[in-house]
Structure 1
């Protein structure tokens, strides 16, 4: 992790779009606007959940975790990308690059596991509504959240420390930030064990949670079909549609990126796929959950109404 096993290499050059100045200007504007929307949107979600007691439920507890996570994840990569757009030769030190790689990988895995937990919450809420508050009590919700963060740490940061990457003289990274796949491509040590470990961890953090989500939604679909009233079915589908939209966007790009053999993957595709799940998804999350959620819109209207009371 600290580069002691590497040679004199002390920095990397992140090429990204540096060879295309006009595209880099557009990219700068898009990333800057997206980052501001992520900060404002997710901060608003966090505030509304804290502010409105009607949102003090397991569903919104996990949503607040997701919003906090999105702010942290984007903040680990977006500022670096914005600064790089303003620099003729964007460089980053070895230690900073390795830290960014670990942090972004760790937070990305936390989101994978958290989305699976959120699907279980929706499954219990729709499949067993009468005992929902008992089955998803505060202690269990807190335990699930803690397990998510700890498990992600054990699956990402610990293996990175145990099997550190070594770098020789190849200091150019064809990416916008220090993403793990881009880092592996420039490492000079024998990587067969690292790649094997990545396949295992990707299966545990992508395929297994995604399969769990599919099973959960299969159970949800069965429960919805047993609801006799049309209004009840519509409400049940409405509560799940936001989460399912996020799952499709996030898991679709992440699985395509990390589960495709790297000798068949394109570096350009990898770069923009990482932007899709790393920038676009955190930006869309607050919009999806606010525009398609009556409770959140109600809390926002309540806040706006109180502010306008003389």
Structure 2
């Protein structure tokens, strides 16, 4: 063991083994995930463009949605290009510096997105349950501070996770995963990872657990308020603004809890890999689809911008 620790103290790279060793399906996987990545960038860029150029969407709800689209663009870009490369090249290595940077950025972004989803639920709660006070509470300055807090907390949490992970000694360099994440790296360590597991569980419990609690409580209050609306049309219109967000919340938090709040001895690489594809690859693509399909204002604004651009051409 001492020899192994001495060798790994000078490790300068890891090897991302990716999804499978079967060479016959690598091209198919590359095409599939490339299409997903392109759709993710396109869909979220459209959401940003529509919100920015539509004055009627310059409201807190869409300000948060725009930030969600921006985070999705960045964090899928942190993961997808490197993942796509593993399907085509024989050299699947990633330098230590690149691995550290990838983990730091990814954890910062998903932590910020967790808080942002909670802020979106809080915004819907105020709009539905406290409509008379909504404008006075959700001012532009207050929304800016909330989003800045989400970003700052994401950076702080990621800093601690990254530092604790890369102070470990690693006995192996082959990461049986498609990006540098905490669970697969802990499996490579020959150090005691109890503190790392404790830090991971604590931070995820506070961040994801606290954010999920805000979302759940907000929607319990929203549902109770909707049930008091006498008009069926009013109930449907109010509920339609919340359904898409709750669907995104369920997919996102479900996959995060499944991966990060399990003890090490109950982890399965194959199962974790599938779950990580959901929150790291699939959800960023699905977010603009879910929000645009369920939101009439976004659809109408998009059609208005599209017609104006078509008429100019």
Q: TM class, shorter-chain normalised? A: over 0.9
Which residue matches 2:54?
52
Distance in 2 (CA, whole Å) between partners of 1:253 and 1:228 is 37
Which residue matches 1:15?
17
Q: Alpha-carbon deviation of 1:26?
A: 2.0
Which range is displaced more, 129-138 or 91-100?
129-138
Q: Alpha-carbon deviation of 1:24?
A: 2.0
**In the TM superposition, what whole-angstrom CA distance separates every residue of 1:13-53 from its partner, at most 9, and x where no partner exists?**
11123511123222211110011001111011001000000
Which residue matches 1:41?
43
Distance in 2 (CA, whole Å) between partners of 1:18 and 1:269 is 13
Give the TM-score, by structure 1 length. Answer: 0.95
- Which of 94, 97, 100 is residue 95 of structure 1 equivalent to? 97
Distance in 1 (CA, whole Å) between partners of 2:92 and 2:148 is 37
Which residue matches 2:162?
160
Structure 1: runs of 5+ lacking an equivalent = none
Per the alignment, in what secondary structure is the counterpart of residue 311 of structure 2? coil
Q: Alpha-carbon deviation of 1:129?
A: 1.6
Distance in 1 (CA, whole Å) between partners of 2:162 and 2:274 is 24
Alignment of 1:212-227 (within 5 A): 212-227=214-229
**In the TM superposition, what whole-angstrom CA distance separates every residue of 1:75-113 from its partner, at most 9, and x where no partner exists?**
101000011111123111111111111111111111111
Distance in 2 (CA, whole Å) between partners of 1:263 and 1:159 is 20
Given that 2:161 and 2:200 are in contact with CA atoms closer than 8 Å, whether structure 1 keeps it comes out as no
Alignment of 1:127-206 (within 5 A): 127-161=129-163, 164-206=166-208
Task: Work out whether 1:116 is the aligned partner of 2:101.
Answer: no
Task: Work out whether 1:299 is the aligned partner of 2:301.
Answer: yes
The 3 A distance-change label for structure 1 pair 180 and 162 is closer
Given that 1:17 and 1:23 are in contact with CA atoms closer than 8 Å, whether structure 2 keeps it comes out as no
Q: Alpha-carbon deviation of 1:224?
A: 0.7
Per the alignment, in what secondary structure is the counterpart of residue 190 of structure 2? coil
Per the alignment, in what secondary structure is the counterpart of residue 187 of structure 2? helix
Distance in 1 (CA, whole Å) between partners of 2:259 and 2:217 is 23
Distance in 1 (CA, whole Å) between partners of 2:165 and 2:180 is 17
Distance in 2 (CA, whole Å) between partners of 1:169 and 1:181 is 15
Distance in 2 (CA, whole Å) between partners of 1:185 and 1:168 is 9
Distance in 2 (CA, whole Å) between partners of 1:125 and 1:186 is 48
Task: Work out whether 1:105 is the aligned partner of 2:107.
Answer: yes
Q: Alpha-carbon deviation of 1:169?
A: 4.1
Given that 1:14 and 1:91 are in contact with CA atoms closer than 8 Å, whether structure 2 keeps it comes out as yes
Distance in 2 (CA, whole Å) between partners of 1:168 and 1:254 is 25
Given that 1:9 and 1:169 are in contact with CA atoms closer than 8 Å, whether structure 2 keeps it comes out as no
Per the alignment, in what secondary structure is the counterpart of residue 263 of structure 1? helix
Distance in 2 (CA, whole Å) between partners of 1:135 and 1:17 is 47
Distance in 2 (CA, whole Å) between partners of 1:297 and 1:126 is 22
Given that 2:127 and 2:134 are in contact with CA atoms closer than 8 Å, whether structure 1 keeps it comes out as yes
The 3 A distance-change label for structure 1 pair 91 and 224 is same
Per the alignment, in what secondary structure is the counterpart of residue 246 of structure 2? helix
Which residue matches 2:3?
none
The 3 A distance-change label for structure 1 pair 261 and 213 is same
Which range is displaced more, 16-25 or 139-148?
16-25
Give the TM-score, by structure 2 length. Answer: 0.94
RMSD: 1.5
Q: Alpha-carbon deviation of 1:134?
A: 1.5
Per the alignment, in what secondary structure is the counterpart of residue 190 of structure 1? coil
